[in-house]
Amino acid sequence: MTLRPFDKLRVAPSEVEGRQAQGHPELRRGMRIFGIDPGSERTGYGCVETDGRRHHLVACGAIAAPPGHTFPHRLAHIHTELSALLGSCRPDCVAIENLFYATNVRSALKLGHARGVAMLAAVEAGCDVVEYTPAEVKRAVVGYGRAEKHQVGHMVRLLLGLPSTPSPHDASDALAVAICHLHSMAPAGMLDSESRSAKPSSWRRYRPPATHG
């Protein structure tokens, strides 16, 4: 699988959508975290690299099962695509959103299966696996455990310095999981004063730029 900068990545029609950030040749390779937002219909992924001061987008997108596939084949497709992406991104760790809420037992079981094949792909790639609940992710990224999806997406865009919010929302959620792990493992003072002042660490602290009429 070849990832192209800011292009839509399609392995087959409607199967995978993704993009890769422009490389930063002036920086040596830092810590890479691969976030996964599991789902039986569509699984979001997002890889973030940090040099200890700033975070950069490596790749993000969503894996969608082809129409008409049975549930077992959808799981196999998720596993195959995640394995290829992990091989391309070569992360140091995989962070997965934990199963916290589902509309019914059937949905919970399907989501659990999707999480299982995602974990299998991560372990087969030789990566450590960590898990975070949606509330933990929102607190780490937005500063509020009940933040809305658009708030999470907005903070992901700001923290990664992107021109627009990653889409679909599954990709934005997966990037948020990766950022959550980076923030949870960052020692005090890891981010320098310049990066702290340049990017707001909470939705509540964000203020739109002043306009001059």
Q: Is 7 a catalytic residue?
A: no
CA distances from 177 to 66, 105, 107 (A): 25, 24, 21
Q: Is 170 a catalytic residue?
A: yes
- Token match 């923030």: residue? 183
Name the active-site residue from 17, 49, 81, 97. Answer: 97
- Separation CA 60–CA 98 (nearest Å): 19
Q: Is 15 a catalytic residue?
A: no
Q: What are phi and psi of 168, to 5 degrees?
A: -70, 180
Name the active-site residue from 49, 136, 170, 173. Answer: 170
Nearest to 36 by CA among 104, 158, 125: 125
Nearest to 42 by CA among 148, 103, 118: 118
Name the active-site residue from 37, 81, 136, 173. Answer: 37
Which residues in 184-196 are b (16+ Cβ under 10 Å) and which e? eeeeeeebeeebe
- C-alpha R_g of the chain: 17
DSSP string, 15-62: TEEEEEPPP-TTS---EEEEEEE--SSEEEEEEEEE-SS-EEEEEEEE
Catalytic annotation, residues: 37, 97, 170
